[in-house]
Each structure stands twice: as structure tokens, then as C-alpha cells.
Amino acid sequence: MSNILVTGGAGFIGANFVRYWNARHPADTIVVLDALTYAGNVQSIAGLAGMSFIHGDIKDTNLVDQLLADYEIDTIVHFAAESHVDRSINGPDAFIETNIIGTHSLLKAAKKAWLDRGIGKPHRFHHISTDEVFGSLGPNDAAFSESTAYAPNSPYSASKAASDHLVRAYHHTFGLETTTTNCSNNYGPFQFPEKLIPLFMINCLTGKKLPIYGDGMNVRDWLYVDDHCRGIELVLQDGRVGETYNVGGGAELPNILVIDTICAAVDAAFEANPDLARRFPNAPAARGIPSVSLKTYVADRPGHDRRYAIDEEKIRSELGYSPAYSFERGFATTLQWYLNNEPWWQAILDGSYNGSSKIDAKQIQA
Ligand code: NAD
């Protein structure tokens, strides 16, 4: 039995992890600490039994000290971050504050609670990071492994790289029991509609353009969020302290193929269910026009990494991980979730999420 502090648990992956852990480890206590930035949404975790929600900032060391003591926390799973590359290009400061200073603040609090007071073994500080810290691959380069040299290219990935180094240093220097996972691009339910898959699905439904960066041939390895949660669970349970593990989805795809998949799936959903045309009258598919008609090529993102690919041999061989979801299955599940949970994303589009009573937790459907 564990008492787990989940930072960023109202964000996309954090909320999925809280739901995943809550369903599989019902005896554990989960405390979510989240600042509810634009990316956090309390509705994503509302109504879960055995979970406490604390609205606060990971940089508030006194608050974190208090939470670690009050809830006798033995495990921190650290998701909280500024996570969108485009925003890091337009305004890097928040990324430095949250991803570097915020992570350091948590590490200090964990060290104080678990090492300086000498009461906290075994304990675990698990840090969620990204494959973007490794930089960009050419078409024939070997996939990123845990020993690939760091070469971050955006303010986002540079801030995540810095946080990874701090976690490593707190293990090496002080003996804090840490693990880190570097994962590829996640997708699934509860993802904020600024990231490619939810943005493009919703744009197909609402009849807005699909802006494609550059030639659309940037390649990402797509990881269904439940598979990621399973990878984190394996590392928490059996991962070696001080180690890092890559987690991928085994689905390396160019963006344009993902976009074409989204368009085709939305068109097929409208064909199969005539009620969708009534619900989404602005969708081209409602008038029998293919969703691909919304595709628009736009100037590339500055410094856009060309390809990420994950070598996940380590987590497979050491911990028995393998992704359960093909991209086809994961995407079909995701589209169905967004079709079933329109109030969740409409509240984001109209700005009424967080503090609004518009969505009831019971309205969130699988
Ligand atoms: P997200 O942007 O959806 O959620 C981030 C959450 O952190 C939000 O709930 C936000 O309110 C919270 N937060 C931000 N600043 C905070 C602060 N100072 N104090 C407390 N809470 C704060 O992010 P996500 O997509 O769920 O990503 C979670 C983690 O996974 C991040 O560390 C990210 O770098 C990493 N990651 C994400 C992906 C992906 O594809 N989404 C891929 C690789 C790694």
C-alpha cells in the first residue's frame, strides 16, 4: 500500500494515470497537486474515490513539505510541467519556472522529507520526461535508447532535459530513490485540444482548418496513454532505482498519415451514425464532403524536430513491457471518447472549464 503524490494530475497524462492507478490499486491513497494552468482540468479527475485534490504549485516548497508530511507520502509521480512546444517558443519563461525550478523544488522537499528526516525508506521519486530531450533523428538513424546523448532543441525539451539532470543528480549525490521514464508522443482521452490528435479531431467536427506544419513528414512514435500508464506502473513496481526507461508505442508514423487517419475515421463515423450530422452541422462530413478538404499547409514550426523514435528494449526485457494498443485501436478508442464526451472539450473551447459546474463527473463516459 502506498501514499502517492501525483503532480500535474489534472493534466492529460496525469489524469489518465490517476484513473489507471485508482482502478488497479484501490487501497492506495492518491493526492493530486495541480496548479490548474490552462492545461489542467479538474473535471478530468472529478468524483474519483480515494483521491484528494490540492490546488497548488509545485514551486510552493512549504506546501509540498506539508503534503508529504500530512499524507505520509512515500511515492511522488511527477507529471506537472509546461508541455507544449509551440508555447515554449512563444514564451519560454514559464517552462524554465515550472519544469526546472518546479522540479527542483519538489526534489528538495522529497529529500527533506525522506532523507534529511530519515524516515522515508523505501520511497520513490518518479519523474516523467520526454523523448524530445534526445533531439532529432534522420530517417535512417537508430532509435533513441537510454544511453543516447541529450541534444534538446526547443525551450520545452531543454527545460525537460534540465529537470532530468536534476533528478539524476539528486539520486547520485544524495541517494534519493529516483526513476525516470522518457516517453514518446501520447494520445488518448482527456488530452487538451492544442495537441495534434485532439485538435485535428475537433477541427474536423467543427469545420475548422487543419494546419499542417511544413511538409507534414515529421515522424513521431505514438503511444496510447494507457500503455504509458502501464509502463510507469511497471517502473514503479520493479524498475531499478536510479535508472531511466524509455516508453514507446511502437507506432512510428509521419504526421500526415496520422492526419489522414483522423480525417478518414471522422468521415466513417459520420457515415455510420447519421446523428453526428445533427450534432456537428459545421463538419464537412455532415454534408458528405471529405474531412481532408480542411487540410492546409502552413509555415513549419521553428526548429521543428524531424523524427523521434524510441528503442524500448530495456523496459521490454527488464520489466516485460509491451504496448497493448496498436495505433488503429488506440485512435479508434480516442475518437469514440471525444464523440462521447463533447461537454468535456466544449467547456475548454468556450473557456468555462475549471470552476464551472457545466460538466458533471458522471457525464464522463468511457
Ligand atoms: P499537460 O500540459 O496536459 O498537463 C500538465 C499539468 O501540469 C496540468 O494539469 C497543469 O495544470 C499542471 N501544472 C503546470 N504547472 C504546474 C505547477 N507549477 N504546479 C503544479 N501543477 C502544474 O501535460 P501532459 O501532456 O499530461 O504531460 C505530462 C508530463 O508528461 C509532462 O511532464 C510532459 O513533459 C511529459 N510528456 C508528455 C508527452 C505528451 O505527449 N503529452 C510526451 C512526453 C512527455
User: Which CATH number fits the domain that encloses residue 310?
Assistant: 3.40.50.720
β 178-183/124-130 pair status: parallel
Ligand 1: distance of its center to the CA of 14 in Å? Answer: 7
The CB density around residue 2, as the number of other CB atoms within 10 Å, is 17
The answer to whether position 50 is within a domain reads yes
130 CB less than 6 Å from ligand 1? yes
Q: Confirm if 246 and 131 have CB atoms less than 8 A apart.
A: yes
The answer to whether position 100 is within a domain reads yes
Write down the pLDDT at residue 118. Answer: 76
The answer to whether position 350 is within a domain reads no
**Closest residue to atom 33 of ligand 1, CA basis:** 83
The answer to whether position 278 is within a domain reads no
* Structural domain harbouring 24: 3-192+222-250+305-324
- CA dihedral of residues 271, 275, 280, 283 (deg, nearest 10): 20
- CA dihedral of residues 138, 144, 148, 149 (deg, nearest 10): 60
Count CA atoms within 13 Å of residue 137 on its CB side.
22
- CA dihedral of residues 151, 157, 163, 166 (deg, nearest 10): 10
Residue 216's nearest CA partner among 307, 151, 320 is 307
Write down the pLDDT at residue 56. Answer: 97
16 CB less than 6 Å from ligand 1? no
Write down the pLDDT at residue 53. Answer: 97
The answer to whether position 269 is within a domain reads no
The residue to mutate among 79, 159, 344, having the most atoms of ligand 1 within 8 angstroms of its beta carbon, is 79
Residue 37 CA to residue 55 CA, distance in Å, equals 10
59 CB less than 6 Å from ligand 1? yes
Give residue-wise pLDDT tens across range 87-127: 999 999 999 999 999 999 999 999 999 999 977 678 999 99
Write down the pLDDT at residue 29. Answer: 96
181 CB less than 6 Å from ligand 1? no
**Closest residue to atom 44 of ligand 1, CA basis:** 130
Axis crossing angle, helix 225-238 with helix 12-24, rounded to the nearest 10: 60
Catalogue the active-site residues.
Answer: 131-132, 156
162 CB less than 6 Å from ligand 1? no
Which residue type occupies 68?
Answer: L
Ligand 1: distance of its center to the CA of 42 in Å? Answer: 14
The residue to mutate among 5, 6, 7, 13, having the most atoms of ligand 1 within 8 angstroms of its beta carbon, is 13
Residue 292 CA to residue 288 CA, distance in Å, equals 12
The answer to whether position 208 is within a domain reads no
The answer to whether position 353 is within a domain reads no
Ligand 1: distance of its center to the CA of 69 in Å? Answer: 24
**Closest residue to atom 13 of ligand 1, CA basis:** 80
Write down the pLDDT at residue 17. Answer: 98
83 CB less than 6 Å from ligand 1? yes
The answer to whether position 14 is within a domain reads yes
Ligand 1: distance of its center to the CA of 39 in Å? Answer: 8
Ligand 1: distance of its center to the CA of 327 in Å? Answer: 22
The residue to mutate among 5, 12, 131, 160, having the most atoms of ligand 1 within 8 angstroms of its beta carbon, is 12
Write down the pLDDT at residue 355. Answer: 62
Number of domains in the chain: 1
Ligand 1: distance of its center to the CA of 353 in Å? Answer: 17
Report, as ranges of residue numbers, the positions in the chain whose pLDDT lies below 50. Answer: 356-362
Write down the pLDDT at residue 50. Answer: 84
